[in-house]
Structure 1
Amino acid sequence: MQTPKVIKTVPDPDSPQNLNVRHANQQVISCVVPAYNEHDNLQILLPKLQAALGALSPTWEVVVVDDGSRDKTVELMQTWCQIPGFRLIELSRNFGKEAALTAGLQASQGDVVILMDADLQHSPDLLQAMLARWEQGVDMVYAVRQNRDDEGVRKRLGAKMFYALLHSDSRVTVPPNAGDFRLMDRAVVDALMKLPERNRFMKGLYAWVGFRSEPIEYTPDARASGQSSFNARSLLRLAIAGLTSFTTWPLRMVSIVGLVVSLAAFLYGLFIFTKHMFYDDPVRGWPTIVTILLFFSGVNLLSLGVVGEYIARIYEEVKNRPLFVVRSSLGRVRRAGVEGPEFTNHKSQESNADEHTSQ
């Protein structure tokens, strides 16, 4: 009985099938833009994205996620969605930016996905440089602010303190001065979509999934119109979500404070006992007792509050509610050979919408 011969085939290293080469002009590019009351800014941003993406690839899409806007953002996007390449994901209410980003990532169909804000602080001119890094094999390219000179002193100190606390007890390094403006390969997006948590701190999740990542520096432009919906309260809520999602140091801090206070109370009790026994000093002062009781009560309430934050996160997770609810979706991916009208300003969009309604 003859032993069958094993024929080994050596792949051709020059064959395109064996080269892990990325070409943006041969891939679908998705741009996800969360929007909350961004009607005026979208009028300026959408034509810029149309020109920028059209120059990079014949197949692209702009996915605008309306996060419960109260202005005419939805009406504007209903008109733009007549153009191949523009899509609208309308959420049933305001679920927050983290949920809107997740909705956009879930709806995106691109081989490479770009996240950017609608306020024009993230310039479309940077997309080409990001795609160049992606073509070289980088899975995630995130934009990093060169400085924070445009922010107040309190906000800069708060950001520095937040990242210091976040990195003090976390195995994940979240790049400081990096936001949601980034490019991600489809593999990164698929990994993010597998994360089930509902209290989402996206900056931490980007870092947690890993992959080959590189920063690219930029200077954010001034906001074109309106005011940011992120106030001090929103930033504080986001910071608490980040700290409770990626660190346990608040719980450890409570334990340390409890140990220190207990030790201090023991030493103070020993001091009073010594004075009374050896120096015949009478135990006096109900104000001292009241002050100590109030101090301990404050520490107990603070400890309960910290533990309560973690319990509240657990409560939100076990309810297993959906992260967002989609009210409607419009539009489609722009593909090579599919032409459509190009809108350059809102007046032409409104007129076309009127004609469409009259028909």
Structure 2
Amino acid sequence: MKQICIIVPVYNEELSIDTFFNTFLKFNEALVNKGYSASVLFVDDGSKDKTPTILNHLITEHTNCKALIFSRNFGKEAALFAGLEHAEGDLMIPMDVDLQDPFELIFEMLTAYEKGADVVLARRANRETDTVVKRFSAQWFYRLNNKMSTLKLEENVGDFRLMTRKVVNEIVSLQENQLFMKGLMSWVGFETTVVNYSRPGRTEGKTKFNYIKLWNLAVQGITSFSTLPLKVWTYFGSFIAFISFLYGLKIIIEKLFFGINASGYASLMVAILFFGGVQLIGIGVLGEYLGRTYLESKRRPRYIIKHKIDKKHE
């Protein structure tokens, strides 16, 4: 019987955990008939509410449930990586605790796996449950990333996917500290297929992702797998230098042969502000890459586990 480990990062999810785990128990009963068994590995990302207490209570009653408790909040990307590092079994499936990743879809994933897929992606057929701003930003992130990076991300695919043990082993062997898990999980490759689904609304609690966090994640995703933003300023600077050379040549010719009128204050200020703004943007892009290089060079751990909750080791 093959073992499935469901990896669930949580942060202040005291309202959602019991509902999620009760749904998992029903799913696991149906799963046994297909020759699989499943367990849940919760990764508590430094919750401030009763989440660790609830997890401890669940694990004392169920052997197919474990948890990692972080010393503080390290972010979902670190929590997901920790889950992959500590997961046991043949197949790993990251899921959200809010039940927007439906358990029923796992049966389709297993069918695709049995046909030879090493990775089965769950792609949202639509984003009707998202706000207009989130739909628009998600659409443009995927388009921009896939234009700028050699690593192409499947559109409307999150962390919800099935991966075999050999895929996960390659992911956790990667050394980088600044994590963009969608990119890392795609970068390793392997035989990949896609199943589509309609994502339901959140059942309990509220999302912990705001637009600032999503923006930072998008920037990290692009800078982690593409150097095009750096190269753009080389080309743009060369173009401006060429235009400036032509304009300078024009001024010299006018001065020598036709005389020259004094340029207006407005046009001078526009040119100064434009080039000043362009330079600051270029420095900002350079700073993003330099800052990530600086953080990588420190080689700090991606996360710190305060303790593990596992009934077998009590």
Q: Name the TM-score, length of structure 2 as normaliser.
A: 0.92
Matches within 5 A, 1:208-287: 208-287=187-266
Are 2:163 and 1:188 equivalent residues in the alignment? no
Measured in 1, the distance between the counterparts of 2:115 and 2:285 equals: 45
2:67/2:309 contact within 8 Å kept: yes
1:85 to 61, 64, 68: 64
CA-to-aligned-CA distance 1:297-325 (integer Å, 9 cap, x gap): 22222111111111111111110000000
Code of the aligned partner of 2:10:
A
Q: Distance in 2 between matches of 1:332 and 1:85?
A: 9
Task: Confirm or deny that 1:151 pairs with 2:130.
Answer: yes
Name the CA distance, whole Å, in 1 between partners of 2:253 and 2:132.
49
Contact 1:60 1:85 in 2 (8 A): yes
Return the alpha-carbon distance in structure 1 between the equivalents of residues 233 and 214 of structure 2. Answer: 23
- C-alpha displacement at 1:147, in angstroms? 1.1
2:5 aligned residue: 30
Question: CA 1:259–1:154 in 2, change beyond 3 Å: closer, same or farther?
Answer: farther
- Cα deviation for residue 128 of structure 1 reads 1.7
Pick from 55, 65, 71: which aligns with 2:43? 65
TM-fit CA distance, 1:284: 3.4
Contact kept in structure 2, 1:85 and 1:331, CA below 8 Å:
no
Matches within 5 A, 1:39-188: 39-57=14-32, 59-82=37-60, 83-188=62-167
Q: How does 1:309-320 map to 2 (within 5 A)?
A: 309-320=288-299
Q: Which range is displaced more, 164-173 or 271-280?
A: 271-280
Of 295-304 and 271-280, more deviation after overlay is shown by: 271-280
The answer for unaligned runs of 5 or more in structure 1 is 1-25, 334-359
CA contact (8 A) 1:105 1:189 kept: yes
Paired residues of 2:129 and 2:199 also in contact (CA < 8 A): no
Cα deviation 1:194-239 (Å, max 9, x = unaligned): 1111111111111110111111101111111222111111111011
Q: How far apart, in 2, do the equivalents of 1:270 and 1:228 lie?
A: 58
SS at match of 2:81: helix
- Taking the aligned partners of 1:125 and 1:138, their CA distance within structure 2 comes to 18
SS at match of 2:208: coil
Greater shift, 261-270 or 231-240, is seen at 261-270
User: What is the number of equivalent residue pairs in this alignment?
Assistant: 308
Alpha-carbon offset, residue 287 of structure 1: 4.3
Distance in structure 2 (CA, Å) of the matches to 1:199 and 1:332: 32
Secondary structure in structure 2 of the residue aligned to 1:143 = strand
Structure 1 stretch 320-329 or stretch 35-44: which is displaced more? 35-44
What's the CA shift for 1:59?
A: 4.1
Report the Cα distance in structure 1 between the residues aligned to 2:285 and 2:139, rounded to whole angstroms: 21
Task: Please say if residues 32 and 116 of structure 1, whose CA atoms lie closer than 8 Å, have aligned partners that are also in contact.
Answer: yes
Opposite residue 80 of structure 1, the aligned amino acid is: L
Match of 2:305 among 310, 316, 326: 326
Instruction: State how far apart, in whole Å, the 2-side matches of 1:241 and 1:279 are.
Output: 54
CA 1:153–1:268: 2 relative to 1, 3 Å: farther
Task: Tell me, in whole angstroms, the C-alpha distance in 2 between the residues paired with 1:146 and 1:270.
Answer: 57
Larger radius of gyration: 1
Q: Which residue of structure 2 lines up, in the alignment, with residue 344 of structure 1?
A: none
CA-to-partner distance for each residue in 1:83-125, whole Å, 9 max, x for gaps?
1101111111111111000111111101111110011111112
Identity within the alignment, %: 39
Q: Deviations over 1:50-104 (max 9, x none)?
A: 2212332464320011111122111110100011101111111111111000111
Stretch moving more, 93-102 or 273-282 = 273-282
> What is the alpha-carbon root mean square deviation over aligned residues?
1.7
Residue in 2 that maps onto 1:6: none
Contact kept in structure 2, 1:272 and 1:283, CA below 8 Å: no
Q: Distance in 2 between matches of 1:136 and 1:288?
A: 66
Out of 242-251 and 160-169, give the one that drifted further.
160-169
Distance 1:61 1:40, change over 3 A: same
- TM-score, normalized by length of structure 1? 0.81
Query: Distance between the aligned counterparts of 2:156 and 2:120, measured in 1?
Result: 14
